[in-house]
Amino acid sequence: MRCIPLERPEGVRCIPNEHSGAGVLVLAGSSGRIDEDRARVFAQLGCIAESIRWFGGAGQHDGPWEIPLETFAERVENLTRTCDRVYVVGTSFGSEAALLTGARVDAVSGVVAFAPSDVVWAGFDGAGRETSHWTLDGAPLPYVPFDFDAHVPNEVPCFLPLYTASRVTYTHLVESASIPVERIKNLVLVAGGDDQVWPSIAHAERIRDRRQGCPFATTLVSHDAAGHRTLLPGEPPISSGRVMTRGGSEQADRALGNQALGAILDMLTTH
């Protein structure tokens, strides 16, 4: 395997010694970082695997707000030039992007969503203006705002109560902000029951339920003691990103990753 740098956007492409024909776009969460470790895992599975910085780089916004979905569609299109099928893998905020891309780009054969969300959530620009995480054709997508009355400041923030309460407060906006997951071809959802960032199992179950009757496969993999960050086999513990309470433990997060790997391999080799 060899990994080469990408530009515009900044990123990395990992090329396996033996290519299975699959391509994977890996999207990190609220850090927007290049997740080379996860790209390497997928390259070891025979995929041409890319990960890009989706905010905070040259010519990009400084945070996860009004990010063009075209950013991800362009990388998918690029992967189709050398791959016969392409998958998008996202975590947390990156799962929103992965699911939206899978729902809107026909070339995506499947999505793996770690700690997923079934709706688009609010982002904030540098001036504190609330807006959507994402845009399409230059227009912000509908989103669920935050009810900050439900947020209790702590030295290490725990955002689970905020997300839970905000969904209740803004119930009337949930449907318009819902990601059209029924359009995605094949889908693997990975969620931890001790996720302290947002209720990812509840989100994943809503996604699964919304796909009832969908002609494509939906697999939900969960572990009661795992938190927000799943660790796939071969991935080192992650120490970067915003300081927050994520729940779980390295042991439980690795156990969930081991469970998830089988479902991921099944999708990569079957579809």
CB 119 within 8 A of CB 173: no
Among candidate residues 116, 6, 4, the one with its CA nearest the CA of residue 54:
6
pLDDT band at 238 (very low <50, low <70, confident <90, very high): confident
Which position has the higher pLDDT, 215 or 238? 215
**pLDDT range class, residue 156, cuts 50, 70, 90:** confident
Q: What is the mean pLDDT of residues 83-105?
A: 98
Average pLDDT value for residue range 225-237:
96
- Yes or no: say if 235 and 205 are a contact pair by the CB < 8 Å rule: no
- Could you tell me the residue range of the domain that residue 108 belongs to? 2-270
Average pLDDT over residues 188-194: 98
- How far is the C-alpha of 6 from the C-alpha of 13, rounded, in Å? 7
**In the predicted model, what is the mean pLDDT of residues 28-56?**
97
Q: How far apart are CA 270 and CA 264, in angstroms?
A: 10
Distance CA 66, CA 123 (A): 8
pTM score of the predicted model = 0.96
For range 28-37, the mean pLDDT:
95
Q: What is the CATH number of the domain that holds 191?
A: 3.40.50.1820
**For the chain, how many structural domains are there in total?**
1
CA dihedral 155, 161, 163, 166 (to 10 degrees): -120
**pLDDT classification of 151: cutoffs 50, 70, 90:** confident
Rounded CA gap, 188 and 95, in Å? 11
Residue 124: its H or E element: strand 122-124
92 pLDDT more than 80: yes
* Interior/surface letters 212-243, b for 16+ CB within 10 angstroms, e for the rest: eebeebbbbbbbeebbbbbbbeebeebeebee
pLDDT of 153 reads 80
Q: Any idea what DSSP says for residue 17? A: S
> 5 pLDDT band (50/70/90 cuts)?
very high
Q: Of 95, 126, 65, give the one whose Cα is nearest residue 198.
A: 95
240 contact partners, CB below 8 Å, separation of at least 6 = 31, 33
Q: What is the pLDDT of residues 114-148, one digit of tens each?
A: 999 999 999 999 899 999 999 999 999 999 999 99
Helix (H, G, I), strand (E, B) or coil at 127: coil
Instruction: Using the predicted structure, report yes or no on whether residue 240 has a pLDDT greater than 70.
Output: no
pLDDT value at residue 241: 62
Give the per-residue pLDDT at 59.
92
CB 101 within 8 A of CB 72: yes
